[in-house]
Structure 1
Amino acid sequence: MLDLLALILGNLLGKTPPPIEVVPVVAWQEAKVFDVPTQSDPVVESIIADYLQRLSSLGFSSNRQAIWLQSDWAYLGDHQAKTPLSAASLTKIATSLAALETWGTGHRFETEFLKVGTVENGVLKGDLIVKGSGDPLFVREEAIAVGNKLNELGIKQVSGNLIIVDNFAMNFKSDRQKSGQLLQLAFNSSRWTPLIKKQYQTLPPNTPKPQITIQGTVKVENNVPETAQRLLKHQSLTMAELLKQMNIYSNNVMSEMIADSVGGAAVVSEVAAKAAKVDSHEIQLINGSGLGVENRISPRASVGMLIAMEEKLQDNPLNVADLFPMGGRDKTGTVQWRNLPDGVAVKTGTLAQVSALAGVIPTKERGPVWFAIINHGPNIDRFRVEQDRFLQRLANHWNLTPVVSPVKATQPVKLGDPKRNIQTES
């Protein structure tokens, strides 16, 4: 305003006003209010150096250890971070990411139950058919719920065979014949083993006990007969719930099934590398579980995949911590005996002489801090102790602010929920 008045007065008095100083235009992204700390943290660098030195003093070669540590906006420290190393079950991070990229969090696998023949006086005069689609957590509780629904539909006995078609697995048995036999047993409560009776006790009180006898045998076929009629379809837990169960227990069969449904290890590798924005050579997989030293992932890629998952979930009420075990929250699975800081979500990895850990530390100062540690050597237990000690030192350096999900993702999953059976009788 003053500059404008000076200009007007100057013109009125016949004087040439001084030139107006040009003020550079600053993009809003570059304004000071958006300035975030990107400088190195000497304390963090010292903690990393001490960690590597301690491992060296215990006889572990530093050339066989690797670390990557970063916040959302800043590199914080590394050691051999871009080298793809045997990463054990960190592979499941890639499988989880590929599953989210393929289906999202709400996807459910469906298992169809069909009949060939008619139902008369409680007897299905024909075959009962199961058509799977890759549900990796179809367990006894789920089978009991399906058996009860079939009883409701009037089926108490099958005069023919139990036929298994496509990708059906029960109780983590990839062999379809064995899975069919387990299903046959679960359907007939008069033949339940003590283990099945124990698992039945975990279901809500007054849950019925299914009674379906199958007079024929279990057979595996390639196709559903054209004359088959639909009875019901059983929906799995959501993809988010499946991934949480897979990761908290580091279940190899579940991860293999999910990876196979995505398209196999090569597809998982490609999808994960693209989403994580890393070179393809940093994620080299032969399967979706991590079984085998040939599965190789760099620490940087491990972190990149976790960040990609968080970005994928940004419009979702869930976050990465809802898909992995968390210190101070989860009391079972792979973190049961760990001494992790409360609020730190992790994925563990153990195989032969490999001990790995990757996850996120929620801090007040830096926001989420992402990390990956891959250790190689003969003493897995010692590595775990040192990894936990490393994270505790970082937690003591920062003020932790555990992320609380707006949804009740920490509640136990509801296996055997009859609401996931949908009648489709045709």
Structure 2
Amino acid sequence: MAAPIPFAPPVTSATFPSRRMGDPPRIHRCSGVIIGPMRRIRILRRPALAAVAAAAWLALSAPVFAGGDAGAPARAAERGPMREWLRAAGLAPQQVGAIALPLDGSPALLAHEAAHPLNPASTIKLITTYAGLVLLGPEFRWRTEARLRGRLEAGVLHGDLVLRGGGDPKLVIEDLTEFVGLMRAGGLEEIAGDLVIDDAIFDDGARSVDEFDGDPSQPYNVRPFGALMNFKAARIVVRPDGRRADLAFDPALADVAVDNRVRPVGGPCRFGAGGLLVRGRGRADAPVVSVTGAYSRACGEQGVFAAMLDHRQFVHALFKAAWQAAGGRWAGRTRIERGAAVGEPWLVWTSPRTLADVVRDINKFSNNVMTRQLMLQLAAEAGIQPATSGDARRVMWGWLAAQGLQFPDLVLDNGAGLSRDARTSAAHLAQLLRHAASGPHAELLRESLPVAGVDGTMQARFVDEPLAGRAWIKTGSLNDVRSIAGYVQAASGRGYAVALIVNGPGAAASRSLQDQFLRWVHANG
């Protein structure tokens, strides 16, 4: 048996720089995107990573499963007080799967229906992000290429500008603005032709959003796209002005009309921007965004992020606004033409973010479309282009099998957890986490998880408790699904991989069960 893996001192709120830059971020339930002023969105960069690395809690050791039984956790016998807790919570035993698995290879400290496959919601992102770290490497960066299809003379491109998307999951307005600046510095002043998008890297279907919960304006419903920009979402800013309310897009979108049906009302701030209904309509070449609902004047200026338009329309609107803001001239159209990027690129935009940075964003704030882009990238980098979700699933299943991780009940679906079909067991999540804890990316995966009482989706939980800074937990939430999975440093100093999944009626009220489970592992491990 391997020696116990030592932990570092607990993480505190001082370990991470604050993410608050103006408006505080908001996180959509059902696994959303980071919500805040779009032009201020950023991720925690290297200073934060270095601070955590200095307090690394996982010493590298021989793989836990070397010469052992990789399937043992799935056969863990019933242990611990879980059934007593379930009776108190009014939950049936078959609704819940849970396990606390020591990282040193010892038998489970606690187990209940650990092998039972359930819908894991966003905790399935742990599989996708861990696979990404191993298969692509933490220093992997995305590239977006520009080509000139025509002559560039006296600042005028007599032809089309071709952008080849590289699958970048977080090419935001700041990045596009810098890329446009490079084009202008390269002598391009006017585009006489069209903007052509080559999305040949992915093929995830023609739809731009999933209506998972019937609301296509929710950013978490955005589907992957080879040339995804700004999450295909913009902030709708509402400014009440007497009997009317002015609306604006942030970042700016060109050639998009606004149907303003916002009704300012008196009284206290009861109706804010989050309650407005946002829908798209109009012709393909003349899109209209309709914004409807009551808005309390007392709320002052507010904003709400919304997914809007289809991918082609959004890229056109975002690029044209950025191009014109940089002094460029262009009156053409935007079209998608797979395979248009031929020959050497004129310019290349390389993301300032590494895969480690992206994994951190995905897990801290449960970003769905970023996860789905990453999963497709696994197939694309394996030489399968255009990559489909089926291709990506096959790559991930092959990788799991090569690691000795046999998960026969695993249903990955889109790899992000925004699915009614996804399935895995608490035992398999814990087994994956224990495997990761013995590998070279242990620290990167662990530090990408929300820290209890400190940040991400766990920021408000266990504040000023002994568990604060000692639990690294990915959360998951759908209607009738609640889940947690990650690591706990027990009071004894021992490390545990933990997972708890609740499905069915009563899941929404199971947070107290999660808290009880984590506190018990910390106190008794």
TM above 0.5, one fold?
yes
The size of the alignment, in residue pairs, is 333
Quote the residue 2:323 is aligned against: 188
- The yes-or-no answer on 1:152 pairing with 2:287 is no
Counterpart CA distance in 1 for 2:354 and 2:341 is 29
Quote the residue 2:220 is aligned against: none
Counterpart CA distance in 1 for 2:374 and 2:2 is 40
Which of the residues 280, 293, 297 maps onto 2:424? 297
What amino acid does structure 2 have at the position aligned with 1:142? Answer: D
Question: Which is helix-richer, 1 or 2?
Answer: 1
On the 8 A contact 1:325/1:347 being kept in 2, the answer is yes
CA RMSD in angstroms, aligned pairs only: 2.9
Which of the residues 101, 106, 113 maps onto 1:74? 106
Structure exhibiting the larger radius of gyration computed from Cα positions: 1
Which of the residues 132, 139, 145 maps onto 1:112? 145
Specify whether residues 218 and 71 from structure 1 end up closer, same or farther in structure 2 by C-alpha distance, changes over 3 A only: same
> Cα deviation per residue 1:152-206 (whole Å; 9 max; x = unaligned)?
222232121111002211122395413422442452364xxxxxxxxxxxxxxxx
Quote the residue 1:342 is aligned against: 468
On the 8 A contact 1:71/1:366 being kept in 2, the answer is no
Counterpart CA distance in 2 for 1:357 and 1:214 is 49
The alpha carbon displacement at 1:67 in A equals 0.6
Specify whether residues 186 and 312 from structure 1 end up closer, same or farther in structure 2 by C-alpha distance, changes over 3 A only: farther
> Cα deviation per residue 1:7-57 (whole Å; 9 max; x = unaligned)?
xxxxxxxxxxxxxxxxxxxxx999xxxxxxxxxxxxxx99941x4323322
Which of the residues 303, 307, 312 maps onto 1:177? 312
Counterpart CA distance in 2 for 1:168 and 1:392 is 44
The alpha carbon displacement at 1:121 in A equals 3.9
The alpha carbon displacement at 1:122 in A equals 3.4
Counterpart CA distance in 1 for 2:358 and 2:322 is 24
User: TM-score scaled by structure 2?
Assistant: 0.58
Structure 2 unpaired stretches of 5+:
4-76, 200-225, 233-306, 380-388
- The yes-or-no answer on 1:323 pairing with 2:355 is no
Counterpart CA distance in 2 for 1:280 and 1:225 is 39
Quote the residue 2:134 is aligned against: 101
Counterpart CA distance in 2 for 1:189 and 1:249 is 33
Counterpart CA distance in 1 for 2:403 and 2:409 is 10
Please state whether the residue corresponding to 2:436 is helix, strand or coil: helix
Which stretch of structure 1 is more off in the superposition, 389-398 or 258-267? 389-398
The alpha carbon displacement at 1:92 in A equals 0.7
Counterpart CA distance in 1 for 2:430 and 2:403 is 8
On the 8 A contact 1:143/1:186 being kept in 2, the answer is no
On the 8 A contact 1:67/1:374 being kept in 2, the answer is yes
Quote the residue 1:40 is aligned against: none
Percent identity, aligned pairs only, is: 26
Please state whether the residue corresponding to 2:510 is helix, strand or coil: helix
Counterpart CA distance in 2 for 1:180 and 1:29 is 52
Counterpart CA distance in 1 for 2:399 and 2:484 is 18
On the 8 A contact 2:489/2:522 being kept in 1, the answer is no
Please state whether the residue corresponding to 2:231 is helix, strand or coil: coil
Which of the residues 31, 54, 63 maps onto 2:85? 54
The alpha carbon displacement at 1:225 in A equals 5.3
The alpha carbon displacement at 1:226 in A equals 4.2
The alpha carbon displacement at 1:105 in A equals 0.8
Which of the residues 327, 332, 342 maps onto 1:211? 327
The alpha carbon displacement at 1:279 in A equals 2.7
The alpha carbon displacement at 1:138 in A equals 1.1
On the 8 A contact 2:166/2:227 being kept in 1, the answer is yes
The alpha carbon displacement at 1:232 in A equals 2.6
The alpha carbon displacement at 1:81 in A equals 0.8
Counterpart CA distance in 2 for 1:273 and 1:228 is 36
On the 8 A contact 2:491/2:523 being kept in 1, the answer is no
User: TM-score scaled by structure 1?
Assistant: 0.71
